[in-house]
Amino acid sequence: MEAPLIDTNSGSNDGLLSLILDRYILSLPGSLRFLLYHALILVQAIRLNMAMNELRMYTSNSFVPAMTYVLLTAMVPQWCAISPALVTNSLVIWIFIKLSRLYNHPSPKTLLFNTGLIAGLSVICYHPMAILIGVVLFALAVVRPFRLAEWLVLLIGIVLPYYFVLSVLYLTDRLPAIGSMLPDFYLGLPAGSTDKNLLWGLGYLAIVLLFGLFFWQVSISRMVIQIRKNWGVMMVLLLTLLPVPFIFQLGGLESGLLALIPVSAFAANAFANPRNLGLPNLLFILAIAVIAINNWQLLKN
């Protein structure tokens, strides 16, 4: 009934995307913001679904990962907005796709440089993405044998965006402004309200993730080595991105959206893998109930 909010968390220093949303998207008509919000979620869901099917991460191809991602974006009321974290999820999917192609790639140095370049740019766009640098480095260690040249190429790709930013700032005599482009780490509880609707949403996320991990563990023994390595990269994404709201406390609960890509990938196992459809149907009905409660609260406000 109302256009989605533009949540840039302007009180904190969290990257270039906040400035773009403030300057160009905040002034858009409500109908365009409505279309943009749904387009972002649907495109990301379909892109994740295509990547998971292409990599044969599940026993059969389906649209379950896309459905899971769309459902889970509505679990937390603070996520029902156009935010830098929502936009940056496209980069998380892109980085995962790049990392999944490292295994037996004929030209790994080019792929590694491009992956590092995307990771470095994502940090400039949204500072909580800095934690993804560790994921990229760990994935290289897991997927490929150690070769110093490959590690140097990856590190050069990560550093290169900041090299160009420093060059521009130096040439324009604005070098102190580099401080605004570096991530600020603040440990603590994420800023935001802790009402019962939030607890319902977080509780459902925890339940569906646990069921997804259980059914994933049952099926992974039947997968080939390459698919296991891809799931290993996804597991590193999950363990790294889950604590983002606590490491970048000023980012608030909105930064938790970054973890939704790996959470959806694992949670989709709870919908797709059980032979008896009783549990998937129950989880789906519970998801719809939580979404209805959240939207009822938004309408009341």
Q: Give the residue from 147, 156, 138, 123 showing the smallest Cα distance to 238.
A: 138
Checking if the pLDDT of 247 tops 90, the result is: no
Q: What percent of the chain has pLDDT over 70?
A: 91
Mean residue pLDDT across the chain:
86
Checking if the pLDDT of 193 tops 70, the result is: no
Q: Residue 13's pLDDT is what? A: 63
Which class for 142: exposed (0-12), middle (13-18), buried (19 or more C-beta within 10 A)? middle
Which class for 103: exposed (0-12), middle (13-18), buried (19 or more C-beta within 10 A)? middle
CA distance 125 to 172: 21
Q: Residue 253's pLDDT is what? A: 80
Checking if the pLDDT of 95 tops 60, the result is: yes
Of the two residues 90 and 105, the one the predictor is more confident about is 90
Q: Say what angle helices 84-100 and 108-125 make with each other, to 10 degrees.
A: 170
pLDDT digits (tens, 9 = 90+) for 69-87: 999 998 988 888 888 889 9
pLDDT band at 67 (very low <50, low <70, confident <90, very high): very high
Lowest-pLDDT range, 187-196, 205-214, 225-234?
Answer: 187-196
CA distance 117 to 162: 10
Token output for 276: 């008896």
Checking if the pLDDT of 30 tops 90, the result is: no
Checking if the pLDDT of 47 tops 70, the result is: yes
Average pLDDT over residues 274-287: 92
Average pLDDT over residues 92-98: 92
